[in-house]
Amino acid sequence: EDKVVQSPLSLVVHEGDTVTLNCSYEVTNFRSLLWYKQEKKAPTFLFMLTSSGIEKKSGRLSSILDKKELSSILNITATQTGDSAIYLCAVLLTGTASKLTFGTGTRLQVTL
C-alpha cells in the first residue's frame, strides 16, 4: 500500500526560528511530491517537486526532493506567527489519474 509519512507530527517554535519538516514516501510509480499549507480553510499549494536535488524557493520557504532517500524536506526560515498551520505533503503517482496520496501533516505553531 502506498504510504506517505510526515515528521514531526507537531512542532512549537519561537518566532525567528528556522524549522525543517520532513516527508518520506513508500510508493510505486512516483511522479511528483507536493507541499501544501493548511490553515483553517483550503490547503494552499506551496511547491511541486519532480526532480531530485533541485531546490525550490518562495520567500522564506524552500523545499527539495531526494529520490534516492525517497524523501523531501520543507524549510522555513525566520518563522513568523503567520506560518502557524498544518503542512501537508502529498505524492502524485503515475497512471493514477493525478490523485494525491497525503501524509497526516505536521502541525506547526509559531509563538512570540
Partner 1 sequence: NAGVMQNPRHLVRRRGQEARLRCSPMKGHSHVYWYRQLPEEGLKFMVYLQKENIIDESGMPKERFSAEFPKEGPSILRIQQVVRGDSAAYFCASLARTRGKGTDTQYFGPGTRLTVL
- Confirm or reject binding of residue 32 to partner 1 (CB under 8 A): yes
- Confirm or reject binding of residue 48 to partner 1 (CB under 8 A): yes
Q: Max alpha carbon distance in the chain (Å)? A: 45
- Confirm or reject binding of residue 25 to partner 1 (CB under 8 A): no
In contact, 101 and 90? CB cutoff 8 Å: yes
- Confirm or reject binding of residue 81 to partner 1 (CB under 8 A): no
Binding segment (CB under 8 A) for partner 1, from list 15-23, 64-72, 75-83, 98-106? 98-106
Cα–Cα distance for residue pair 32/30, rounded to 1 Å: 6
Q: How far is the CB of 79 from partner 1 (least distance, A)?
A: 23
Paired residues of 72 in beta bridges: 23, 65
Binding-site ranges for partner 1 (CB under 8 A): 4, 31-32, 34, 36, 41-45, 48, 50, 88, 90, 92, 96-105
